[in-house]
Structure 1
Amino acid sequence: MADMKENNMNDGVPSLDEAAAEAVRLSVGPRPGAGPEKPRKDRRRIIIGAAAVAVAVLVAGGVCAHRAYESHQASVARQACQSAVADQAKAVKAYKTLLGSDATVAVLKTDAKSVKDAKTVDTLKRAAAVRLPAMVKCDASKAADLDAAAAKANKAARTVKSDTKALETAAKAVESSKLDKTVADADALYKATDGKVQDDKTRDALKQAIAKRDAAAIAKAVKSVNDSKTAKEKADAEAKAKAEQEAAAARPPGRPPPPAPAIPNPTNKSRR
C-alpha cells in the first residue's frame, strides 16, 4: 500500500485516501489559523472537474450502450418479421397453386345437378373465392412495431393455410358427391333393366363396378347395358313385326285379322 501511495504521488494524481481526506477537509472548512486557501481551491476545482468529466463519460457510455441494445433488439425483431412474412408468402403460393391446378379447375366446373348433394358445390365456390390477406411489410424501425408486424404475418399465414385446407376438402367433397350420384344412377339402371337387355352379362359387369365405386368402370358398364337394352328393344320390335307379317300371310284373302285380346282392367269387378 505504501508503494502504491508513493507511485500515485510520483504520478501527480492524488490517491483514493488523499481524495477522501481532501473531501473531508473541504466539507469541514479551513482550520483556524491556516494559511492561504488558494492551493486548496485549485485542488477542489480539479477534483470537481474530474468528477464532472467522469460523470459525462458515464452518461455518454450509457446512452451508447442503450442505443446499441435497441439496435440489436430491432435487428432480431426484423429477422423474425421477415421469417413470418416468408411463411405468409409460402402459404399464399400454396393456395394459388391449388386453386389453379387442373383438378381444381375441372371440379369447379361441376354442375349442381351432377352431384348427389348440391351444397358441396356451393361450399367449393365459396372456398375458391376467399379474399387473401395483404402481404405484411417489415419496414418499421422499432422492435415493438416489428414484433407487431411479425404477429400479423403469422396470423395471415395461419388464415391462408386454413383456406387452402378448406379448398382441398371442398374439392374432395364435390368429387365424392359426384361419385355418389354416379353410383346411385347406375344402381337405378341396374334395377330397371332386369330382363330388358339382350346380354345379361352387361348387368353383371355393372353390378361389380357399382360395388367397387369405380367411376370409369361404371361409365363403361352403363354404356354396355344401355347398348344391350337398345339391342333387345330392336330385336323385340323386329320379331314382333316378323310375327305380324307371318300371321298376315297365313290368313285367307279377305279375312280380317283377329281382334286384339282384351286387356283386363283390375279396377272393374263383376257384380254378384
Structure 2
Amino acid sequence: MEQPTKTKNAMSKRVIAIIITAIAVIAIAAGVALAVHRHHATSQLTEAKTACAQAADRLRVAQNNYNALINGDAYKSAVKITAKQVEDSKVVTTLAKDSEDEAPKMVACNVDDKTALEHNTGLIDKNTTWYETHTKTIDTDVKNVVKARDTKTLKDTQAALAKKITDAKKLYDSSNGKVKDNKTRDALKKQLDAADKLKDSKDVKKIKDAQTALDKAMKTVNNSVKAKSEADKKAAEEQARKEAEAQAAAAAQAQQQYVAPQQSYTPTYTAPQYTAPAAPQYTAPQQTTPQYTAPQQTAPKPAAPAAPSTGGNTGGGPVSGGHGCNEGNCSSTPDLGYIPR
C-alpha cells in the first residue's frame, strides 16, 4: 500500500515542475515578445525621426536655393525692369505674379510620436517641392525678362546707331569746304567706316562705343564748321569795315573839294539883302504926315500949287504919285495931296 502513495507524490511533483516550467517559458516568451515589440516601436520611431530629419535637410537646401535666387543681383535687377523696357510686357507681369506667392509655413521634427513625425515629414516634403518648383519658375521668369530687355535694348541700340550713321554722313557731305580744319572730316569718315561694320553687331557695348565715337567726331566737325563760319564772318566784317572806311574817306575828300567854293560864295550872296534899305523908304513919308496939314490950312491961296510946274512938267495932269515930286530924292518934299488940273 505504500508504493502507490509514493508514485502519486512523484507524479504530483512532476506536474508541478512542468507547470512551473511552462509558466516560466510563457513568462520568458512574453518578456521576449514585449522586448521585441518595444524594440520594434523604438526602431520605427527612430526611423521616422531620421526620415523627418532628412526631409528637413532637403527643405533647407531648397530654401537656401530659393533665397539665394530672390536675393541675388539677377532677380533684383529683373524686378526693376518695366514693361516699356522689354519687347513683350507679359514676361514682366508673369515675374511679378510668381513673386507674390507666399512661402509655406515651417514644419518641425521635434515630436516623439511616429504618426506625427510621418505627418510632419509629409508636410516638409510638400514644402520642399514648393521651394524647388518656385525656384525654377522664378529663375525662368527672370531669364525671360532679362532676355526681353536685352533684345529690345539691342534693337534700340542698333536703330540709334543707324540713325547716327545717317546723320554723320549728312554732316560729312554738307561740311565739305566749310571746316576750318579738314582733318576733322577725315576723323569723322574713319569713325563712319568703323560704325558701318558694327551696325548689325549683337554686342551692345561695341555698338554704343561706336555711337559715342561718332558723336565725338561729329561734335569736332561742327565746332570746326562754326570756327570757319565765325572766321569768315569776322573777315567779311573786317573787309566791309575797310571798304566803308575807304568810301567814307573818298566821300570826305570829295566833299572838301566841293564845299570850299560854297563857303566862299555864301557870304557874298547873303550880305546885300534888300530888306535893310526898304524899311526907311516906306517909313519916311509917314514921318512927314504932320507937314501935310499945314498946306491944307492955307488952301485958299492960289499961288501955292503953281510952283512945282516949273520943274519941267509941261503937261496939265497931276504930278506922278500925287505928291508933287517925280524925280530925285523926294523924301524932303511935302505931300501936297492931289492937285487938280
Coarse TM-score class (shorter-chain normalised): 0.5 to 0.7
* Aligned residue in 1 for 2:124: 153
Q: 1:173 to 1:200 in 2, by over 3 A?
A: farther
Q: CA deviation at 1:234?
A: 8.4
Aligned positions, number: 216
**For structure 1, which segment, 187-196 or 71-80, has the greater mean C-alpha deviation from structure 2 after superposition?**
187-196
Seq. identity, %: 22
Pick the aligned partner of 1:104 from 69, 75, 86. Answer: 75
CA contact (8 A) 2:161 2:207 kept: no
Question: Equivalent residue for 2:306?
Answer: none
After TM superposition, the structure 1 = structure 2 runs for residues 1-272 of structure 1, keeping only pairs within 5 Å, are: 34-35=4-5, 37-193=8-164, 195-197=166-168, 198=171, 199=188, 202=191, 205-206=194-195, 208-209=197-198, 211-225=200-214
Q: AA paired with 1:133? A: P
Instruction: Give the superposition deviation at 1:109.
Output: 1.1
CA distance in 2, matches of 1:204, 1:120: 38
- Corresponding letter in the other structure for 2:33: G
From the CA coordinates, give the structure whose radius of gyration is larger. Answer: 2
Give 1:113 shift.
Answer: 0.7
1:212 aligns to what SS in structure 2? coil
Q: Return closer, same or farther for 1:239/1:112 CA change in 2, 3 Å cut-off.
A: farther
Counterparts of 1:145 and 1:207 in 2: how far apart (Å)?
71
Deviation at 1:182, TM superposition (A): 1.5
Deviations 1:41-69 (A, max 9, x none): 34323322321222122111101111112
Q: Contact 1:81 / 1:150 at 8 angstroms: preserved in 2?
A: yes
Does the aligned pair in 1 maintain the 2:165–2:195 contact within 8 Å? no
Cα distance in 1 for partners of 2:87, 2:221 equals: 31
Report deviation, 1:228: 6.0
Q: 1:116 to 1:234 in 2, by over 3 A?
A: farther
Q: Is the 8 A contact 1:179 1:213 kept in 2?
A: no
Structure 1, unaligned runs of 5 or more: 1-32, 251-272
Code of the residue aligned with 1:176 in structure 2: it is K
- 2:165–2:196 Cα contact (<8 Å) kept: no
Show structure 2 runs of 5+ residues with no match: 172-187, 241-341
Write out per-residue CA displacement over residues 197-246 of structure 1, whole angstroms, 9 at most, x where no aligned residue.
Answer: 143555555555553322322333344455666777888899999999x8
Q: Post-superposition shift, 1:129?
A: 3.0
Residue deviations 1:145-171 (CA, integer Å, cap 9, x gap):
434433432332232122112222222
Contact 2:157 2:204 in 1 (8 A): no
The separation in 2 between residues aligned to 1:195 and 1:237, in whole angstroms, is 21
Q: Which moved more, 1:144-153 or 1:58-67?
A: 144-153
Instruction: Provide the TM-score with structure 1 as the length reference.
Output: 0.63
Structure 2: how far apart are the matches of 1:193 and 1:111?
26
Matched position secondary structure for 2:167: coil
TM-score, length-normalised on structure 2?
0.52
Counterpart amino acid of residue 153 in structure 1: I
Amino acid at match of 1:216: K
Cα separation, partners in 2 of 1:203 and 1:121, compared to 1, 3 Å: farther
CA distance in 1, matches of 2:203, 2:223: 30
Alpha carbons of 1:168 and 1:212: their partners in 2 closer, same or farther (altered >3 Å)? farther
For the structure 1 residues 204 and 131, does the alpha-carbon distance in structure 2 shift closer, same or farther, using more than 3 Å as the test?
Answer: farther
Q: Which moved more, 1:172-181 or 1:182-191?
A: 182-191
Counterparts of 1:221 and 1:192, CA distance in 2: 12
Alpha-carbon distance in 2 for matches of 1:100, 1:150: 28
Structure-2 separation of matches of 1:51 and 1:166: 69
